[in-house]
Amino acid sequence: MLNSAFSGEKFEGLGTQKIKNLSSFEVDGFKDSRNLQEEISGILRGNYASLRVLELRARLSLGAILHPEAPLENLQHICLSSIKILDRNPLDALFTRATRLRSLILDISIGPNLAVSAVFIYHFKALPLLEYLTLSIDCGVNFDFGLYNAVARFISNRPKLTRLRLEDAGGEWPWQTIEVAGESLAGLEVLRVDTRRLMVERIEDAIYALPKTLQVVYLAASEMESDLVR
């Protein structure tokens, strides 16, 4: 089994689709490039049977890389960071087919015509082996008011889930998610919440809802109420 990583600012590689028998594949950096996306798609097509770890940290369109019928059953860890998602098809493929996934990092921006809450609601029982989850969702100009309820339903009643990170630089859905999911997060040991602003009322409501199994809580924000820094 081989590991392969592409990193840089400008991708000019050709013939990389011939790489076979990969267990780990990582792409870091680069600007949106049709050539890069075609190469990544080709590499994935030739390595789904052996691939266990996939990390894409680049400004790419997931729909151009991950096809709806992609066989993702052998993947155990997926990290998608700085990825643009214009429609739900690639997310549907991920939640439906990555049945052995244990670790998922989604740091994504959503297109104007996509309500990502619908994806979490539809697939609320997907990924039953998940142990580690990071969600950082930039909805842009969308007002996806059901997002916190959808994510809360998705993460509830998952005894294998021990580490959770929720992040939103512009909204409060992570706090609302914790309040709704509450003690149904049985088994959770580590929680990190990153938001634009920490407010006393939100923190108090969330703390009362936290499961007793929790060992570490990490809070981060660009703004804090004065009562929190006294």
What are the boundaries of each domain within the chain? 102-228
- Token pair for 96: 């439906």
Of residues 2 and 169, the one with the higher pLDDT is 2
| Angle (CA) 180 123 117, round 5° | 55
Claim: this prediction has a pTM higher than 0.85: yes
Of residues 148 and 170, the one with the higher pLDDT is 148
| Angle (CA) 70 73 79, round 5° | 80
| Angle (CA) 4 138 103, round 5° | 40
The lowest-confidence range among 34-38, 113-117, 118-122, 174-178 is 34-38
- What angle do the packed helices 147-155 and 173-181 form, to 10 degrees? 40
| Best-predicted range by mean pLDDT (42-51, 58-67, 166-175) | 42-51
CA 198/CA 131 separation, integer angstroms: 27
Cβ atoms 30, 10 nearer than 8 A: yes
CA 65/CA 45 separation, integer angstroms: 10
Model confidence at 170: pLDDT above 70? no
- pLDDT of 16: 75
- pLDDT of 75: 97
Could you give the residue ranges of the DSSP H alpha helices within the chain? 34-45, 62-65, 89-97, 116-122, 147-155, 173-181, 200-209
